[in-house]
Amino acid sequence: MHTAAAVADFRTYPLISALSGVQNLADRVSIVWADGRISPFHHVWLRDNCPCEQCVYTVTREQVFEIVDAAPDLVPANAHIDSDGCLQIDWQDGHRSRFDPGWLRAHAYDDESRAERLAAKPKAYLWRSDLQLPVFEYSALMNDNGALLQWLIAVRDIGLTQVRGVPTEPGSLKLIAQRISFIRESNFGVLFNVQSKANADSNAYTAFNLPLHTDLPTRELQPGLQFLHCLVNDAEGGESIFVDGFAIADALRQEAPELFQALCEIPVEFRNKDRHSDYRCLAPIIALDALGRVAEVRMANFLRGAFDTSVEQMPLLYRAYRRLIAMTREPRFRLMQRLNPGELWCFDNRRTLHARNAFDPATGARHFQGCYIDRDELLSRILVLQR
């Protein structure tokens, strides 16, 4: 009962409420739970989700059965609660299915259960200039999975964190990034060196001020997490600035809904080219997820192509774009801090825009290393640590 072995999954499902009654109707089974909730399950849904060893390969716990291989009018010959408290269904074609009540409750699709699941989903905590920056210690993150989980949840929900006590030898960033997962390589390398270079292939590798942006908006999938690790910071200037792109999008949605909508709908091209590569991506600046929530901001003015939209829409796009950039400059949203050697930023690159003040290379050396990890890796690591 409520063990991973009983279900087609590696997770376990606690018994929230026992099954107390089963009614077999024309096209569904109606379950009454001990706490009074009623959950209908269509016959086709139950047959599709049969967790038996014929339907699910026990090693991978992935389905081998396909619903089209059952008759479309298949109905149970019998449905009842067995002596273990599971829902047992004997189908008219002779197949038998048993459902763990913990699993069944976790997947029930009555309105109340679905609303509960939606409410339990992680939510972005929107922040402004007064954010209490979440700070973590390198040694704890390297040795303690509990501390690691707390950090990853902060990265997921707040989108900006700092880690202190990181060794300052070049390459140390790799060790902590790999505590999460494998690193996403790009044309700038597995680890990229942020230094002022004579023959720069990006404005990042100059001493210029860099306006608020996301990295690699030129890719179909922008990197999810970005790390910036400070090895040396003796130059004057070069402070890091962050804004919560989700908080700005949220404020824009309330203050100027027509401009918010324009940024969700009108695509903009971002380009990054050098002698050996030419990356381009055409996408709206704000992307919503399947539930209508802001899921991504894509922005780097220095990588943006000329706007290409209809004559009617061009003034609207400029109004929306100007408003967005103006908002990133508003003090209410901006958090500024200088990074010291042995400290690193880890932030959600598809949410948190980052900037750097200009620095003066004549006043001292400045060397940061950075890398990327995709958001999927973060979310998967959190779920595995929570098992």
Should residue 25 be labelled a site residue for Zn ion when binding is judged by CB under 5 A?
no
Closer of 45 and 205 to Zn ion (Cβ) = 45
Give the length of the chain.
387
Shortest separation between residue 44's beta carbon and Zn ion, angstroms: 14
11: left (phi > 0), else alpha (psi -120 to 50), else beta? beta
Q: Which is nearer to Zn ion, 54 or 143 (CB)?
A: 54
In angstroms, how far is CA 203 from the centroid of its own chain? 27
For tokens 């960033």, name the residue.
173
Residues from 42 through 81 that contact Zn ion (CB under 5 A): 50, 52, 54-55
Q: Which residue lies nearer to Zn ion by CB, 54 or 277? A: 54
Shortest spacing between CB 213 and Zn ion, in angstroms: 51
Q: What three-state secondary structure class fits 45?
A: helix
| Least distance to Zn ion, CB of residue 8, Å | 10
Shortest distance (Å) from residue 91 CB to Zn ion: 9
CA distance from start to end of the chain:
17
Q: Which residues contact 249 (CB under 8 A, 6 or more apart)?
A: 260, 263, 286, 294, 297
- Distance of alpha carbon 293 from alpha carbon 246, whole angstroms: 9
Residue 346 makes contact with Zn ion by CB under 5 A? no
**Distance of closest approach, residue 95 Cβ to Zn ion, in angstroms:** 6
**In the complex with Zn ion, which residue's Cβ is closer, 71 or 221?**
71
Q: Which is nearer to Zn ion, 66 or 130 (CB)?
A: 66
Contact in structure between 235 and 307 (CB atoms under 8 Å)? no
Instruction: CB nearer to Zn ion: give 50 or 87.
Output: 50
Q: Please report how close the Cβ of residue 63 comes to Zn ion at its closest, in angstroms.
A: 10
Asked if 87 touches Zn ion (CB under 5 A), the answer is no
Q: Smallest Cα–Cα separation from 107: which of 8, 202, 173, 177?
A: 8
105-134: which residues touch Zn ion (CB under 5 A)?
none
- Give CA 30 to chain center in angstroms: 35
Note whether 339 binds Zn ion by CB under 5 A.
no
Q: Of 50 and 210, which has the nearer Cβ to Zn ion?
A: 50
Residue 210 in tokens: 């860099």
Sign of CA dihedral 161, 163, 168, 170: negative
Residue 218 · residue 280 · CB < 8 Å: yes
DSSP-derived pairing of the beta strands 160-164 and 135-137: parallel
Q: Smallest distance, Å, CB 55 to Zn ion?
A: 3
46 or 344: CB nearest Zn ion: 46
Least distance between Zn ion and beta carbon 211 (Å): 57
Nearer of residues 46 and 324 to Zn ion, judged by Cβ:
46
Number of residues this chain uses to bind Zn ion (CB under 5 A): 4
Q: Which amino acid is at 76?
A: P
Which residues neighbour 163 within 8 Å (Cβ) at sequence distance 6 or greater? 135, 136, 137, 138, 141, 151, 176, 343, 344, 346
One-letter amino acid at 273 equals K
Residues 326, 266 contacting (CB under 8 angstroms): no
By CB under 5 A, is residue 89 in contact with Zn ion?
Answer: no
State the nearest-atom distance from the C-beta of 5 to Zn ion, in Å.
15
Q: Cβ contacts of residue 9 below 8 Å, gap of 6+?
A: 61, 103
User: Where on the chain is the footprint of Zn ion (CB under 5 A)?
Assistant: 50, 52, 54-55
